[in-house]
Structure 1
Amino acid sequence: MDKKVEIIEKALDHFLKKGSKIITMDDIANEFGLSKKTLYSMFENKETLLNEAVNLLWNNFLNEVETIKSSNENPLIKIIQIYTVAIQRISNINPIFLISLKKYHYEVLCEYEQHKLFMFEKVVKPLLEDAKKQKLIREDINIELFYYINFEDIDEKLWKYKVFEKHSIQEALDYFIILKLRGILTKENFDLF
C-alpha cells in the first residue's frame, strides 16, 4: 500500500475517534517513524491531511452507495440500505470529530458539508423522485423539504440524542429513516417495508 494512503487511513481513524485537535502532525510522524520534514513533504499542513482524510471517509461511503444504487431494489429500499450503511458508520464516529471540525477546521467542515449536499443532490433526491414516479410515495410530497427536515443532519441528531448509547442500529434506522419514509408512502404501498 502506498505510504501516503496508509497515513491518510490511519490519520482518519485517529480523527474519527479523538477529533482533530488532539492529533498532531508530530503524532502522525512518530507513529510512522517519519521525520516531520518527510510528513510535510506529503501534506502541506494538518488541514491538508485532515481534508484528505475526510475525502477518504466520504469516498469509501460513496463506493458502497454506488453498489446499492446499482441493485434491482426499488428506490425506497435503496434509501433504507444506504442509510443502514450510513448509520453503521456514524455509530463508529466519536461526535468530537464533527465538533472539532466546526471549531478548528472551517474549510474541512465546508468540504464535509459539500459531501452531504452531494448525497442529497445526486443520491437521495433522485431516488425519492424515482419513488414518486413509481407512485411509491405521495404525489404531494415536497422532496427537498422532506429531506431537509428528516435526513439532512442525521449524523448530528444521532449524536445529540446519544442514540447509540441506548439503542441499537436497527432502532436508529427504524426511527430516523423507515418510519419517516413510511409516512410518505401511498396507501397502496403502506406495507412496502
Structure 2
Amino acid sequence: MVENKNITTYKESLKEKILSAAMALFAEKGIKAVKMDDIANSLSISKRTIYEICENKEDLLFEGVKKRKSAQQEALREFAEGADNVMDIILHSFRLTIEQFKFTNPVFYSDLMKYPRIMRYFEEDKKKSQKQFREFLHRGIGEGYFREDVNYDLIIYILSAQERYIMMSQLYNMYSMEEIFYNLIFISLRGICTNKGIEVLDGFLINIKS
C-alpha cells in the first residue's frame, strides 16, 4: 500500500515537472517548434517517460494549459482574500496577465489556435471568467470605482469581441501583447471608471508603462 502511494506521488511529481518544462519551452519557442525530444532533453529523461504521462504533444499541451490556468486562478484567489477592494483585485489580475505576455513568444498564440480542443476549453473557461468579472464590476459600483450608468453586459460582450479579433487577426504580430493589453485597459476600463476609479487606474497604468 505504501509502495503504491509512493509510486503515485512520484508520478504526480514527475508529471508536474514535465508540464512545467513543456510550457516553458512552448512559451519560449512556440508549440510547433518544440519536439518531445526537446522536452525530454531539458529534464534529462527519456522520451518514453513522457509518453507514459501523456499520449502525445496535444495532450501534454492541454494538461499544461489547464495547469497554468489553475495556478493563475489560485494566485488570484489568494490575492483577493487579502485585498482591500475590488479595484486592486482586477488590476492585480491584469498585472499577472501582462507579466505572462512578457515571457511568451507571439508564435505560441498562433500555434495555439490550431488546437480546437484547447480553444473550446478557453471558450468554456471564458464564460466562468466573465461571470466573475461581472460580479467584480458590480461590486466596484458599490465601492465607488465604476459608473452606475453603464450596461456592463454589453461592455463584457465588447471586450470579448475585441479579444477574439486580436487573436483571429494575429494583431500581436504587429504590436506586442503588452502594448495591446495596455491600450485595451486604458480605453475600455478607464471609460467605465468614476473619478475615484480613474485615479487608481492611472497610477496603475503609469507603473506598468514604466
Q: Return the TM-score normalized by structure 1.
A: 0.79
Alignment counterpart, residue 163 of structure 2, candidates 134, 149, 153: 153
- Deviation digits for residues 52-105 of structure 1, max 9, x if unmatched? 1111221222122112322333222321221011111122111211211112x2
Amino acid at match of 1:56: K
> Which residue of structure 1 aligns with residue 193 of structure 2?
185
- Deviation digits for residues 117-161 of structure 1, max 9, x if unmatched? 332223x22110111234432223122321232366297487255
Amino acid at match of 1:163: S
1:139 equivalent to 2:144? Answer no
> Which residue of structure 2 aligns with residue 14 of structure 1?
25
Secondary structure of the equivalent of 1:55?
A: helix
From the two aligned structures, give the one with the greater helix fraction: 2
The CA RMSD over aligned residues, in Å, is 2.8
Bigger mean CA offset, 50-59 vs 134-143: 134-143
1:70 equivalent to 2:81? Answer yes
1:51 deviates by 0.7
Bigger mean CA offset, 50-59 vs 171-180: 171-180
Cα 1:174–1:53, aligned 2, differ >3 Å: closer, same or farther? closer
Kindly indicate whether the alpha-carbon contact (under 8 Å) linking 2:25 and 2:39 is maintained by their aligned counterparts in 1.
no
Secondary structure of the equivalent of 2:149?
A: coil
Cα 1:17–1:117, aligned 2, differ >3 Å: closer, same or farther? farther
* Structure 1: runs of 5+ lacking an equivalent: none
- The equivalences for 1:80-99 within 5 A come to 80-99=91-110
Kindly indicate whether the alpha-carbon contact (under 8 Å) linking 1:68 and 1:82 is maintained by their aligned counterparts in 2.
no
Kindly indicate whether the alpha-carbon contact (under 8 Å) linking 1:16 and 1:97 is maintained by their aligned counterparts in 2.
yes
Alignment counterpart, residue 111 of structure 1, candidates 101, 118, 121: 121
Kindly indicate whether the alpha-carbon contact (under 8 Å) linking 1:58 and 1:115 is maintained by their aligned counterparts in 2.
no
User: Percent identity between the aligned chains?
Assistant: 27
> Which residue of structure 2 aligns with residue 51 of structure 1?
62
1:111 deviates by 2.0
Q: Return the TM-score normalized by structure 2.
A: 0.74
1:120 equivalent to 2:133? Answer no
Bigger mean CA offset, 111-120 vs 94-103: 111-120
Bigger mean CA offset, 106-115 vs 5-14: 106-115
Kindly indicate whether the alpha-carbon contact (under 8 Å) linking 1:20 and 1:97 is maintained by their aligned counterparts in 2.
yes
Amino acid at match of 1:136: Y
Kindly indicate whether the alpha-carbon contact (under 8 Å) linking 1:102 and 1:109 is maintained by their aligned counterparts in 2.
yes
Cα 1:161–1:121, aligned 2, differ >3 Å: closer, same or farther? farther
Secondary structure of the equivalent of 2:99?
A: helix
Kindly indicate whether the alpha-carbon contact (under 8 Å) linking 1:75 and 1:130 is maintained by their aligned counterparts in 2.
yes
> Which residue of structure 1 aligns with residue 7 of structure 2?
none
